[in-house]
């Protein structure tokens, strides 16, 4: 292989250069191999084993863990809860993200400042945000109740989290939406900004109004951005943990799959089932991501 010349006349690197990529990559491969791939393989394999300090020794048990999970009503409940977390999380963050991106499309004096504030919730730890929102939701002293009462919408203090299952989930997810909307907004904004102005011009020449332009030009061409934003939100809301843990603890009425996995593994010490549930969650993530990409993504060429 030595001695060839590339089109630009450069000699292809000799022996020393051949190994360069591998040298550059070795730290990465080491890290990912040892600390990401190996643990994942371990989890995948041990999902089919009984791993439980209360029930030694570790032994092969086929689909027993999975069967137990399906029969566990709290696991089923957490799956249903998580489905709602996903719907609210993906739906609202994409909607708000699209709205914010549309408003901030145009460069203006204020855009930098507004963008800075918009990105702020994304930068803060979810746990800190949950504590702050928890205080807003507080039944006795929270500002939510206070404002609603002043507006006359409710008569007495409402307990927002813990009683109504759907209300609790929506409000907990709202805290996560607050955090991930900036990400969606930025991703969609990137897609918006890559739409060439000429297309809008052409549409206007054809007599299209604002709404028409939005429907015919913007929406179709922003689909890649929407798809990526939705997949991001999907992954984040499917894995929601911090907000649920802080605001609702282990109550089944709001438990998410990740919370349930944590409880099965650390409270019940049934690590095998914990692995099995993680595996199922991974598959669900991949399936749903592919679904979103298939439906929403369109390769765009200008």
Helix/strand/coil for 5: strand
Angle at 68 between CA 240 and CA 66, to 5 degrees: 70
Q: Which residues, 213 to 272, sit near another protein by CB under 8 A?
A: 225, 228, 235, 238-239, 241-242, 245-246, 248-253, 258, 261-263, 265-269, 271
Out of 61, 66, 83, 146, the only residue in the binding site for another protein (CB under 8 A) is 146
| Peptide linkage before 170 cis (omega within 30 of 0) | no
Residue 299 binds to another protein (criterion: CB under 8 A): no
End-to-end CA distance of the chain: 39
Which residues lie closer than 8 Å to 33 by C-beta, 6 or more apart?
none
Residues 93-132: x where in contact with another protein by CB under 8 A, - otherwise, as a string: ---x--xx--x--x---x-x-xxxxxxxxxxxxxxxxxxx
Please identify, among the stretches 82-90, 190-198, 214-222, the one whose residues bind another protein according to the rule CB under 8 A: 190-198
Residues 75-94 that bind another protein (CB under 8 A): none
Please check whether residue 105 is in contact with residue 193, taking contact to mean a CB–CB distance below 8 angstroms: yes
Contact set for another protein, span 279-298 (CB under 8 A) = 279, 281-282, 285-286, 289
Q: At what angle do helices 165-193 and 111-123 cross, to 10 degrees?
A: 140
Instruction: Name which of 29 and 291 has its Cβ closer to another protein.
Output: 29
3-state secondary structure of 49: strand
Q: Rounded CA gap, 254 and 249, in Å?
A: 9
CB of 175 to another protein, least distance (A): 9
* 162 scored as a contact of another protein (CB under 8 A): yes
Contact present, 214 and 67 (Cβ < 8 Å): no
Q: Closest approach of Cβ 211 to another protein, in Å?
A: 13
Token reading at 56: 């030694």
Specify the stretch interacting with another protein by CB under 8 A; choose among 34-42, 79-87, 215-223.
34-42
Q: From the CB of 215, what's the least distance to another protein, in Å? A: 16
Say whether residue 73 binds another protein (CB under 8 A): yes
């Amino acid at each position: 292989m030595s001695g060839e010349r590339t089109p630009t006349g450069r000699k292809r690197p000799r022996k020393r250069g051949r190994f360069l990529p591998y040298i550059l990559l070795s730290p990465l491969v080491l890290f990912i191999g040892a600390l990401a791939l190996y643990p994942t393989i371990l989890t995948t394999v041990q999902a089919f084993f009984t791993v439980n300090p209360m029930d030694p020794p570790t032994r092969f048990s086929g689909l027993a863990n999975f069967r137990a999970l399906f029969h566990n009503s709290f696991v089923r409940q957490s799956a249903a809860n998580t489905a709602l977390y996903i719907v609210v999380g993906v739906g609202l963050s994409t909607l708000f993200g699209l709205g914010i991106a549309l408003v901030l499309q145009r460069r203006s004096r204020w855009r930098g400042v507004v963008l800075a504030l918009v990105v702020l919730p994304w930068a803060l730890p979810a746990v800190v945000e949950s504590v702050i929102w928890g205080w807003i939701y507080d039944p006795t002293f929270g500002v939510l109740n206070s404002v609603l009462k002043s507006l006359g919408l409710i008569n007495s203090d409402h307990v927002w989290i813990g009683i109504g299952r759907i209300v609790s989930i929506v409000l907990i997810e709202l805290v996560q939406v607050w955090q991930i909307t900036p990400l969606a907004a930025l991703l969609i904004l990137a897609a918006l900004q890559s739409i060439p102005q000429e297309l809008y011009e052409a549409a206007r020449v054809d007599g299209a109004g604002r709404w028409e332009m939005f429907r015919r030009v913007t929406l179709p061409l922003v689909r890649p951005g929407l798809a990526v934003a939705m997949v991001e939100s999907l992954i984040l809301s499917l894995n929601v943990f911090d907000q649920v843990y802080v605001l609702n603890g282990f109550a089944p009425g709001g438990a998410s799959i990740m919370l349930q996995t944590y409880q099965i593994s650390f409270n019940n010490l049934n690590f095998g089932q914990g692995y099995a549930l993680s595996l199922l969650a991974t598959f669900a993530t991949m399936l749903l991501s592919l679904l979103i990409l298939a439906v929403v993504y369109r390769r765009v060429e200008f």
